[in-house]
Amino acid sequence: MNILNIEHIGKVFGEKVIFEDASFGIHQGDKIGIVGINGTGKTTLLRLAAGVEEPDQGQVVCQNNLKLAYLPQSPEFPLEATVESYALKGEADTDWRVQSNLNQLGIEDYQGKLSQLSGGQRRRVALAKVLAEDFDVLLMDEPTNHLDGQMIEWLEEYLKAYRGTLLMVTHDRYFLDKVCNRILEISRGKMYSYESNYSRFLELKAEREEMELASERKRQSILRMELEWAKRGCRARSTKQRARLQRLEALKSGKAPVQEQVVEMDSVETRMGKKTIELHQVTKGYAGKNLVEDFSYTVLRNQRLGIIGPNGCGKSTLLKMIAGYLQPDQGRVELGETIKIGYLAQEEPDMDTDRRVIDYVKDIGEYVQTREGRISASQLLERFLFTPQMQYTPVSKLSGGEKRRLYLLSVLVSGANVYLLDEPSNNVDIPTLTVLEDYLNSFSGIVIAVSHDRYFLDNVVDRIFEMDGQGHLQQYEGGYTDYLEAKKRRAAEAQEGSGRDESFGKTGLSKGAKAGKEEGQEKKSSSDWRQNRPVKLKFTYKEQKEFETIEEEIARLEAVLEELEAQMAANATDSGRLNELMREKEQAESRLEEKMNRWVYLTELDQKIREQNS
């Protein structure tokens, strides 16, 4: 039995259709994750369900006496309110739950004014309050934003144990996998429901799209047959023939399935010299507390670093020092002459909301150089899913996620060879995140990312620094899953009384190591704690995924080369087109050679792992 029904709703903002005759029912006990490209109406759907907004057509019908709790993406707070006056009601039966939630979310000063807290801290206060309320249905918009890893894990367990109904918007793919039993996809004004977690949803969505394409192919085939019949002439006076003509008209008016657009990006980095980024005995503190203490490190070319740790431990501070927005209290940060930084802040900079979207991009340049050549600002915006119509609308008309995408675009096309990304997945939809991850993996430069998105870290980074808030950084090889395994292993060995020195102390490197050494020396240093024990070979998370798909990628590139050779033969007399095809062939051959070299390495590693485990 449904406890909340969304019936034939329509919603339009300006000239943009958000929902068109969309319906959806929520059952008791459903834990639903809402997904879709930014701007498709995810937040609007939550607001409609919460009763904050009304549909233009249709209705939202709730079961009698149904109690709703709603956490918006940007909660509003009373002026001059403190944590205590806002979150606590003076009722013992609920206040203890609020206090417990506040402690879990790192809020300890109940007398602090909300106006003096950061945006993330205020949002955590609102989350603590909402979770303590008496409700049947919990509505949440991006609940994991501004939470660190431990807080996200706590919230995951909280919601998994919760027996009521949950409807939430989130772009955290591991969170969707662990919490949800149903996925609601919003696409082009329609809603599609899947009885699954996120991983299974990806499979079911692919099956649905394939069925739609098969139906369209069948419709086109029948339409061709009927058109041929109509061209041959027919006796329209016959009832049977009139029915056939009516069927032909119905086929002609049928709509083909619209394929969901995805963000297209191409690397536009600039050349990088031998000297990259060097931190020499850097110390930075606030209010008598060191967030970074005596830290030295040399970033290697093409390295992908992830920085994690509890909120307030100094992750953004470290990133800002590298970017040059903050100066260290002691030590120095040195950048090579060819280093060009693209910095994505956690909060979007102030945008002139009266300006048109296209003018915002033209501030960077009328044209942008990509591997394919020069493209215009308008073409670039289209790649980022900004239609020609959207490009000439004011920035104020964009959703929060669309503004984030526009800001991300401005950073990625700046021609940087180093990206410093502070929470890049905040307010970014899953399709954009997927393409961003692919882009960063093909980017021939340095990536340093502060992120709590575990899926993103697994897909992008090859080394993680964990900050403890006391000034120390500890280094781990691999992505987030590798980091978790290493932490468990180290904790188990410490419990066994191994006595090994695992800390990286003030320098961020293991005992006896100095930053700035060559790659092999650094890796040796980071494993000193093993005291020369034989290292057990294994794939990292990223290597395992790469090994599983690399043969398919090689086959695809070989097919591309065959097609290019066929086109070259067909265009042998067209010198202009032939030159273009030859350049494309050279690029494809170069990519194939890289993949083949990588396949050899991964295959040899796989063989060694098998021999080790046999």
Full DSSP string of 20-88:
EEEEEEEETT-EEEEE--TTSSHHHHHHHHHTSS--SEEEEEE-TT--EEEE-SS----TT-BHHHHH-
Whether the per-residue pLDDT at 98 is higher than 70: the answer is yes
* Nearest residue to 140 (alpha-carbon basis) of 87, 107, 192, 176: 176
Mean pLDDT is lowest, of 124-138, 299-313, 495-509, for 495-509
More confident residue, 142 or 575: 142
**H-run or E-run covering 450:** strand 446-450
Mean pLDDT throughout 325-332? 95
Mean pLDDT throughout 138-146? 93
Q: How confident is the model at residue 521 (pLDDT cuts 50, 70, 90)?
A: very low
Cα(143)–Cα(436) distance, integer angstroms: 22
Supply the pLDDT for residue 419. Answer: 94
CA distances from 49 to 57, 329, 470 (A): 14, 50, 44
Cα(306)–Cα(454) distance, integer angstroms: 10
Supply the pLDDT for residue 555. Answer: 85
Show the tokens assigned to 371.
């591997």
Tens-place pLDDT, residues 549-566: 888 888 888 888 888 888
Whether the per-residue pLDDT at 183 is higher than 90: the answer is yes
Work out the number of other CB atoms within 10 angstroms of the CB of residue 412.
25
Cα(611)–Cα(170) distance, integer angstroms: 42
Q: How confident is the model at residue 282 (pLDDT cuts 50, 70, 90)?
A: very high
Q: How confident is the model at residue 253 (pLDDT cuts 50, 70, 90)?
A: low
Mean pLDDT throughout 582-603? 82
Give me the chain's average pLDDT, please.
82
Cα(433)–Cα(441) distance, integer angstroms: 12
Cα(304)–Cα(479) distance, integer angstroms: 10
Instruction: Please report the DSSP string for 261-327 in residue order.
Output: P------------S--EEEEEEEEEETTEEEEEEEEEEEPTT-EEEEE-STTSSHHHHHHHHHTSS-
Give the pTM: 0.70
With 0-12 / 13-18 / 19 or more C-beta atoms within 10 angstroms meaning exposed / middle / buried, residue 160 is exposed
Contact 477, 483 (CB under 8 A): no
Tens-place pLDDT, residues 67-76: 999 999 889 8
Whether the per-residue pLDDT at 228 is higher than 80: the answer is no
Whether the per-residue pLDDT at 227 is higher than 80: the answer is no
Supply the pLDDT for residue 516. Answer: 40
Q: What angle do CA 300, 303, 304 make, to 5 degrees?
A: 145
Those residues with Cβ within 8 angstroms of residue 352's Cβ, 6 or more apart along the chain or in another chain:
360, 395
Whether the per-residue pLDDT at 498 is higher than 80: the answer is no
Q: What angle do CA 107, 132, 85 make, to 5 degrees?
A: 55
Supply the pLDDT for residue 524. Answer: 39
